[in-house]
Structure 1
Amino acid sequence: MLLPFLYQVGLSLTPPERVFASPFPLSPPFTLDNYRVVLEKLPMARYALNTLVFALGVTLGQLLLALLAAYAFAFRRFPLKGLLWALFVGSILVPFVVTYLPNYLLVARLGLLNTFPGLILPMLTAGYATFLLRQHFLTFPREVLEAALVDGATPRQVLFRILAPASLPTLTALGIALFIGAWNQFVWPALVANHPDMYVLTVAVQRFAGGEGSNAWGPLMAASVLATLPALALYLLFRRPILETLMEGGVRG
């Protein structure tokens, strides 16, 4: 799993004349010229900002909607709750890619192509995030929630003043996992944000690869490394809480 990334880093530090000289170019001399070429030819700061806005919007929206839905499915009573939950969990099995066409047509008809709302809104539902938060909420002592309701707290206060603060580590880890997933999105941003001013990093690297990058493997690998590093660093910093949160969903059904 690490070999492709190490090979990518090695190529990004390799002078152009040595790219094909070795099957695994991780030996001196190294150069940063490939990164200089990328920063000169691509507005990486703009693309990084676009990606950050997109990833944060998706992450915060998914967390909020998942928080509300998880609370309802865990503690509220309403008609057809079991059936709706089964359908909701079943939606996790439907890949987002099969909804690209109807979502694209809807975004186009609303005039939201090449806008952040067009990028973010269709991705705000997160069935897996709701499933994980519901499983986590079911482990919370019901006596505490019932005592708060008896004392006059509203369901909104129970959720945002008791459950959410108590679940902050889980919400943080889940948010980081959602952020990394949004940061790495390619197909959807490529469909609805194809104007150069709206490129995210993954789309910018692909466009670079399809142009002069196809004949410049060093700069192409350098651009790929720059696009990968933020998400990779975030995961390495918070890998333990992320893994614990992802595993928690299987503890209680």
Structure 2
Amino acid sequence: MSRGVLITVAVLNLMPLIYLIGISFRAPQLVFVNPLFPLTVPLSFENYRAVLSQMDILRYLLNSIAFSGSVTVGQLLLAIPAAFSFTYFSFRFKNILLGLVILSLVVPFVVTYIPNYLLLAKWRLINTILGLVLPMLGISLGFGIFLLRQHFMGFPREIIEAAMIDGANSWDILWRVVLPANLSPVVAVGIYVMINTWNQFIWPLLVGGGHPRSYTLTVAVQIFYTSPEGSDYWGAIMAASVLASLPTVIVFLLMRRKVLESFVEGALRG
């Protein structure tokens, strides 16, 4: 009974994806033919050719890579030392600060849109990749700090003490001892941040939607949907959506086991 429920739920969750892919490979005149059977034969690549000819996919792809990659690297550079400090150092208000870090997870990013936008406008960073990246460095940072801290707490302290006896300082212990032994959770956090950033839409539209040179793929798909070329061209819209989603799907499928194992292990240690 439970297996049947799981299969039913899985199919229901996959149906939008199946229709997305199926319609993207349909000829434009067949989009609304046989709506109960999204996959048709033979496959047509006309929608993809239309998207590649009407959208600057390469520029938008590079913008998305720069955006998500910069946020991912920036968050890891902030989360790793912070998690290490909360694990191995004792300082005043440590528990209070850790509580505030975790509490930050319940604050929606949307409530910071207006102050962040006004600040970026003052710094003349609207319609720039840097303007997109800076405010995003704090989004879900508390999650990364907490998860890495849970893994760091399970690292044998005897090894830390042995490294200190050998003369290693805090940075040496972090980058040469603790971090190499905890690459799996670090990679998992990086993938989580990358996918979350890649899928952002409102923030890139608000800050980078004023000029095509700063469009990310998610924004470019929306602009294409509202343009005269794509307003009634449903197959091309589906094809553009597939191209925008494909990189994150590939990354997750390749690394899903490492991500799930790290999240579960971190939860058990907590």
Q: TM-score range by the shorter chain?
A: over 0.9
Partner of 1:142: 157
Q: Retained in 1: the 8 A contact 2:185–2:263? A: no
Letter in 1 for 2:208: A
Q: Secondary structure at the match of 1:247?
A: helix
From 41, 54, 58, the equivalent of 2:71 is: 58
From 230, 235, 238, the equivalent of 2:252 is: 235
Partner of 1:79: 92
The answer on 1:196 being equivalent to 2:212 is yes
Q: Retained in 2: the 8 A contact 1:190–1:203? A: yes
From 76, 82, 92, the equivalent of 1:69 is: 82
Letter in 1 for 2:266: G
Partner of 2:131: 118
Partner of 2:3: none
Partner of 2:43: 30
- Deviation of the 1:151 alpha carbon: 2.1
Distance in 2, matches of 1:22 and 1:106, equals 51
Letter in 2 for 1:3: M
Distance in 2, matches of 1:154 and 1:97, equals 40
For residues 140-166 of structure 1, the C-alpha deviation after alignment (integer angstroms, 9 at most, x for no partner) is 001111221222111111111111111
Q: Retained in 1: the 8 A contact 2:47–2:236? A: yes
Partner of 2:22: 10
Letter in 2 for 1:84: L
Q: Secondary structure at the match of 2:231?
A: helix
Partner of 2:7: none
Matches within 5 A, 1:166-205: 166-194=181-209, 195-205=211-221
Distance in 2, matches of 1:8 and 1:221, equals 6
- Deviation of the 1:222 alpha carbon: 0.4
Q: Retained in 1: the 8 A contact 2:144–2:189? A: yes
Letter in 2 for 1:188: W
- Deviation of the 1:40 alpha carbon: 0.3
From 223, 228, 237, the equivalent of 1:207 is: 223
Partner of 1:252: 269
Q: Where do 5+ consecutive residues of structure 2 fail to align?
A: 1-12
Letter in 2 for 1:61: G
Distance in 2, matches of 1:147 and 1:96, equals 42
Q: Retained in 1: the 8 A contact 2:18–2:38? A: no
- The root-mean-square deviation of aligned C-alpha atoms, in Å, is 1.1
For residues 153-193 of structure 1, the C-alpha deviation after alignment (integer angstroms, 9 at most, x for no partner) is 11111111111111112212221221111111111111111
Q: Retained in 2: the 8 A contact 1:132–1:248? A: no
Partner of 2:9: none
Percent identical: 51
Distance in 2, matches of 1:198 and 1:120, equals 12
From 143, 155, 168, the equivalent of 1:128 is: 143
Letter in 2 for 1:244: E
Partner of 1:103: 116
Distance in 2, matches of 1:248 and 1:94, equals 26
Distance in 1, matches of 2:136 and 2:89, equals 25
Distance in 1, matches of 2:40 and 2:54, equals 27
Runs of 4+ in 1 over 4 A off after TM superposition: none
Q: Secondary structure at the match of 2:26?
A: coil
TM-score, reference length from structure 1: 0.97
- Deviation of the 1:247 alpha carbon: 2.0
